[in-house]
Amino acid sequence: MIQAILWDVDGTLAETERDGHLLAFNQAFEALQVPWRWSETHYGALLAVAGGRERLMHDMQTQEHAPADPRERRSLAERVHRLKNEYYARIVGAGELPLRAGVRELMLDCERAGLRMGIVTTTSRSNVEALLETHLGQGWESAFAAVVCAEQAPRKKPDPQAYLAALDALRLPAQEAVAMEDAPAGIAAAKAAGVPVIVTRSYYFPATESADALAVGPSLGRIDGWSPSADSGSQRIDLKQIRRWYAQCER
């Protein structure tokens, strides 16, 4: 039996990377007079590095105008990252980053069914707060039985630390949870923790495959394009469908 749904944040709940973090990074570069900007394509390549600060440090290895001194680089990365998160919160707070189709509806299914939910992300807590407060209101945290962010899981995905921390908080065997993920690193993290995964492909990860996922598809908001296919009785991926896929895998 499924006892909990564990939600990844970036790319899964919303297109936060393209429509949030990338814009906010470029705004922070501009405000701090950093002499480079990231394109949508370049940012896509940088997503191979988990963590905003880590991503920035990685990029500086090949940015010709980056400071040569490693301490200066680290301090610049910290300043940009802090400001990026402030800009990100502004973008989200202005209502410019909607939840992906079907996400809110599936959350409501869980609430109605009394199924626990968790947030499992290695993004900063402030980013999660900004996004969920905007969409679920001030009491957003009460909707989740566990909230694990980068501060509790410094070893970023694909390390399973965040998933293991969530399972521990929920006192749940891995097999009784289902992870909702979009990116290879997140899928790998869930699998390494033993948690079955449902993959909703996102803008930056449009072709994610996962042989042993419960299901892989384009969006929770539609029933076409899923493998295994979704039951046509609903307009979206609902909790019944998640339970169906889970039961198919148990057999």
Q: Which residues are catalytic?
A: 8, 10
Residue 42 CB contacts under 8 Å (≥ 6 apart), including other chains: none
Distance CA 134, CA 98 (A): 9
Minimum Å distance from CB 16 to ligand XBP?
7
Minimum Å distance from CB 115 to ligand XBP?
21
> Binding of ligand XBP at residue 15 (CB under 6 A)?
no
Question: Of 85 and 241, which has the nearer Cβ to ligand XBP?
Answer: 85
Minimum Å distance from CB 85 to ligand XBP?
6
Minimum Å distance from CB 64 to ligand XBP?
24
Within 137-220, residue ranges assigned H as helices are: 161-170, 184-192
Is the separation of the CB atoms in 220 and 234 below 8 Å? no
The binder of ligand XBP chosen from 6, 8, 130, 197 (CB under 6 A): 8
| CB closest to ligand XBP, residue no | 52
> Binding of ligand XBP at residue 201 (CB under 6 A)?
no
DSSP conformation class of 152: T
Question: Of 106 and 185, which has the nearer Cβ to ligand XBP?
Answer: 185
Question: Of 167 and 230, which has the nearer Cβ to ligand XBP?
Answer: 167
Total residues binding ligand XBP (CB under 6 A): 18
> Binding of ligand XBP at residue 17 (CB under 6 A)?
yes
Going residue by residue from 41 to 70, which x/- string records binding to ligand XBP, judged by CB under 6 A?
---------xxx------------------
Q: Which of residues 108-167 bind ligand XBP (CB under 6 A)?
A: 121-124, 127, 150, 157
What per-residue string of b and e applies to 3-28 under the rule 16 or more CB within 10 Å gives b? ebbbbbbbbbbbbbbbbbbbbbbbbb
Minimum Å distance from CB 21 to ligand XBP?
5
Question: Of 127 and 241, which has the nearer Cβ to ligand XBP?
Answer: 127
Contacts 24+ apart (CB under 8 A), 242-247: 242/2, 242/5, 242/106, 242/178, 242/198, 242/214, 243/2, 245/198, 245/214, 245/215, 246/2, 246/178, 246/196, 246/214
Within the chain, residue ranges assigned H as helices are: 16, 22-31, 40-46, 52-60, 70-93, 103-113, 125-136, 161-170, 184-192, 239-250
Q: Which residues bind ligand XBP (CB under 6 A)?
A: 8-10, 17, 21, 50-52, 81, 121-124, 127, 150, 157, 183, 186
